[in-house]
Chains A and B, each alone.
Chain A
Amino acid sequence: MKGYDLFELAVRNLRQSKLRNGLTTVGISVGVASLVAMLSLGVGLQQLATRRLAGSGMFDTVFVTSKQDFRGFDREDDQKTEHPENAPVLDEPARGAMTHLQYVTEVEPEIRVMGEVVSGGQTHFGFVTGLPMSARENEAFDNLQGKFFSGPSAEEVILLNDFAKEIDPKDPKGLIGQEVTLRYGERQALAPDSESAGRPQLSGGAVGGSNPTSGDDFGFSVVRKTQKLKVVGIIEEEPYGGMRTVSRGRIFLPVDLTEKLNMAQFTDMRSSLRGGGGKTYMTLTVRVKDPAKVAQVQDAINKMGFRTFSVLDATKSLRRFFTVLDLFLGIFGSLALAVATLAIINTLVMAVLERRREIGVMKAIGASDGDVKRLFFAEAGAMGFFGGLLGIALGFAIGKAINVGTGIYLHRHQLPAEAVWILPPWLIGAAIAFSIVVSLLAGLYPASRAAKLDPVQTLKYE
Chain B
Amino acid sequence: MNSLPSSKPAPAVRTSDVCRYYPMGGGIIRAVDGISLTIERGEFVALLGQSGSGKSTLLNLLAGLDRPSSGSVMVQGRDLAKMSSEELAAYRRNDVGMVFQAFHLIPSMTITENVELPMRFAEVDRAERGERVRESLEQVGLGKRLEHRPSELSGGEQQRVSLARALANRPSLLLADEPTGNLDSRTGEDILNLIRDLSLSLGMTVVMVTHERALAERFAQRLVFLADGKLLSQEAVA
Interface residue ranges, A against B (CB under 8 Å): 1-2, 5, 9, 12-13, 16, 357-358, 360-371, 455-456, 459, 461-462
Contacts and interface: CB of A to CB of B under 8 A. Distances in A.
Contacts, number: 70
A461 B101 contact: yes
Contacts of B122: 366
Interface string B106-117: 101100000001
B98 to A, nearest CB: 5
Contacts of B100: 459, 461
B182 to A, nearest CB: 9
B121 A367 contact: yes
Given A1-B123, A2-B120, A2-B123, A361 B89 contact: no
A292 B90 CA distance: 61
Contact of B66 (A1, A9, A371, A456): A456
Contacts of B196: none
A365 B104 CA distance: 10
Q: Which 3 A-B pairs have the closest CB atoms?
A: A366-B93, A368-B89, A366-B121
Contacts of B66: 456
B104 to A, nearest CB: 5
Interface in B52-86: 60, 63, 65-66, 85-86
B121 A362 contact: yes
Nearest to B92: A366
A1 B166 CA distance: 18
B15 interface: no
A365 B108 contact: no
A361 B108 contact: no
B13 to A, nearest CB: 17
A396 B219 CA distance: 68
A361 B121 contact: no
Given A1-B121, A366-B121, A369-B85, A455 B165 contact: no
Given A1-B123, A2-B123, A358-B106, A363 B89 contact: yes
B42 to A, nearest CB: 22
Given A12-B109, A365-B166, 12 more contacts: A1-B123, A361-B106, A364-B104, A366-B121, A366-B122, A369-B85, A369-B86, A371-B89, A456-B66, A459-B65, A459-B100, A459-B104
A462 B92 CA distance: 23
A223 to B, nearest CB: 96
B210 interface: no
A365 B117 contact: yes
Contacts of A358: 106
A456 B65 contact: yes
Contacts of B123: 1-2, 5
B117 to A, nearest CB: 6
A364 B63 contact: yes
A33 B165 CA distance: 44
Between A2, A362, A364, the greatest number of chain B beta carbons within 10 A of the residue's beta carbon is seen for A364
B180 interface: no
Contacts of B102: 461-462
Interface in B19-63: 60, 63
A1 B120 contact: yes
Contact of A368 (B86, B101, B109, B165): B86
A1 to B, nearest CB: 6
Nearest to A16: B108
Nearest to A369: B85
Given A2-B123, A365-B117, A367-B89, A456 B106 contact: no
A366 B104 contact: no
B94 interface: yes
A455 B89 contact: no
A364 B64 CA distance: 9
Given A12-B108, A16-B108, A365 B118 contact: yes
A16, A357, A363, A369 — which one has the most chain B CB atoms within 10 A of its CB? A363
Contacts of B205: none
B98 A365 contact: yes
Nearest to A8: B120
Contacts of B89: 363, 366-369, 371
Given A2-B120, A357-B104, A370-B86, A365 B60 contact: no
B136 interface: no
B158 interface: no
B172 interface: no
A11 to B, nearest CB: 12
A5 B117 CA distance: 9
A371 B121 contact: yes
A371 B85 CA distance: 12
B169 interface: yes
Given A357-B104, A371-B89, A364 B98 contact: yes
A365 B64 CA distance: 11
A367 B94 CA distance: 11
Nearest to B182: A461
Nearest to A365: B118
Nearest to B168: A365
Contacts of A9: 120
A5 B118 CA distance: 11
Nearest to B123: A2
Nearest to B118: A365
A358 B166 CA distance: 15
Contact of B120 (A5, A363, A370): A5
Contact of A366 (B60, B105, B109, B118): B118
5 contacts: A5-B123, A12-B108, A361-B105, A363-B89, A461-B100
A9 B106 CA distance: 12
A275 to B, nearest CB: 95
A370 B90 CA distance: 12
A224 to B, nearest CB: 95
